[in-house]
Chain A
Amino acid sequence: MCYRALLALVLGLTLPGCGFAWRALKRNLSAPPERTVAHQVVDPKRPEARLAALWVGHATVLLQLDDRFVLTDPVFSHTLSQASPRLVEPGLDPERLPPLAAVVISHMHFDHLSFGSLDRVEQRTPIVLVPPGVRASMPRYAFEIRELETWASYEHDGLRVTAVPVQHIGGRYALDSAFETRAFTGYVFEYHGLSVYFGGDTAYIPSAFQATRARFPNLALALLPICPDAPRDFMQYTHESPNQALDAFTLLGAQRMIPIHFDTYINSDDAFGACPRELRERMQARGLSDEQVQILAIGEQRVLIAK
């Protein structure tokens, strides 16, 4: 009896995940060669901008807030954990990064925390901010690694970075997710009256978005993940669908949104282009304009607020 219950529990917990993992493995094995980015930005400093964003790919975004630069979840590697190949090359050569005021890491998964990529920004940032529990799973670097609890802030020279609540899953090597139950976060950056939300990787949690809006009522921009979407019954615990990302955008009350976390690596059943296509359809149904939801190509930089 005990054995059957245990077997049922193990099968129940693992089969949906195994099926998805098997399909993802098959898609990875037949992945096309990495696409190149035709016109990479050579100098990402935009003197005419108060707020600019450059989508490097996946959750990596170079943000310019006046004269300060912040980099989110830097991943420049061509494979994830030596298994999942990159579909589109990084939209910016890390050698061309300006001096950074801070780098933030949303959680420890391979598509958000790349130790090799951090090597490439090591001399460009004084600090890397991480969620609780992550420091003990990171190698030593020249920069400071500081953990931020939810609602805690890092402040330096006018820039304030605050950890905000999201729902995801911690850990890096599967088994450690049992111990790293708080090791995921979003962030809000504030500088010179500008504030920007970065969702990292999150499921749809209205209360978290409302609480963030209550503290940051004037978000100029929300960087929100829109993928992986399929299979939804498996992804719903940890990832927003494109439609839910639009709901999150509304709840955050941000002036504009840039979708992230799609079409860079294979980590789902989604076909290339499916998530932004779904997003466009939902935008149309809601009457949201291209000004409100700005879908960037990998490597594209956009000035969102000019001086």
Chain B
Amino acid sequence: MSRRGAVPLFALVAFGAFGAPNAAAEEVSTQPAPKPRVLSPAAAVGIWAAAQLIPSPELVIGKRHVGGGLRWQLTPVLYSFGIAERPLRTFLISPIARHSGSIELHVSPEWACCAANEQSGWLVRAGLRLYLPLLEHGEKLSWSVGGSYYHAAGGNSRNGAAADLGLFTFNGAFGLNLTVSPWLSRREVITTFAIRLF
């Protein structure tokens, strides 16, 4: 093949190797997808704070009556021994950090009400709770055991100790918590349907 003939042949091969895909590339859309709308950290904290106002309903069982109640909960500090990184968390705590295995310091204001011939009243408790995973590192199912110290306000104001046992599912969003306070008059056993967002 002459040198003059080789140049167009090379150009043809080069076009086949490199030119064709580029030509195809020109046919594709150059319009990128819009950026996803993501909550700002401040908005997320705001939503989390608002979500903490949603109470968990309670069934309050005393020796001679049954009533209702509401419980709120906050976790000022949690140490997760089940998580791979950053074991110490405060307040806004990822469900996996809690339910993969952790110990938390919790504070819970509670309001007991709706029992016949009984006054409504507030109670605040603080305590330690241990979470242990049962299924899928606790996301599917986990349980807890804990103890707390309470202060009941009102006419029958008194302090005392309580023990609790819990079972949680759906990434810890829902659970059942049984709190036993043998010395807490009118609220010896409290069953809480726990609702929690983070």
Contact = CB atoms under 8 A, between A and B. Distances in A.
B35 A237 contact: yes
A167 interface: yes
A177 interface: yes
B30 A206 contact: yes
A136 interface: yes
A236 interface: yes
Interface size class of A (residues with CB under 8 A): 35 or more
Contacts of A179: 41, 44
Given A169-B38, A173-B94, A181-B38, A140 B28 contact: no
A251 interface: yes
A82 B170 contact: yes
Interface in B57-115: 82-86, 94-97, 100-101
Given A137-B96, A167-B35, A247 B28 contact: yes
A139 B100 contact: yes
Interface size class of B (residues with CB under 8 A): 35 or more
B198 interface: yes
Nearest to B173: A173
Interface in A158-185: 167-169, 172-173, 175-179, 181
B198 A205 contact: no
A178 B33 contact: no
A114 B140 CA distance: 11
Interface string B118-142: 0000000000000001011111100
B33 A204 contact: yes
A115 interface: yes
Contacts, number: 123
Contacts of A176: 44, 94, 198
A123 interface: no
A167 B100 contact: no
A195 interface: no
B2 interface: no
B32 interface: yes
Given A203-B33, A205-B33, A236-B33, A175 B47 contact: yes
A140 to B, nearest CB: 5
A246 B27 CA distance: 11
B36 interface: yes
Given A145-B84, A178-B43, A204-B32, 9 more contacts: A116-B136, A136-B85, A139-B133, A139-B137, A167-B32, A175-B44, A175-B198, A246-B28, A250-B24
List the 8 closest A-B pairs by CB distance, nearest first. Answer: A178-B44, A203-B33, A237-B36, A247-B28, A116-B136, A178-B39, A139-B137, A139-B100
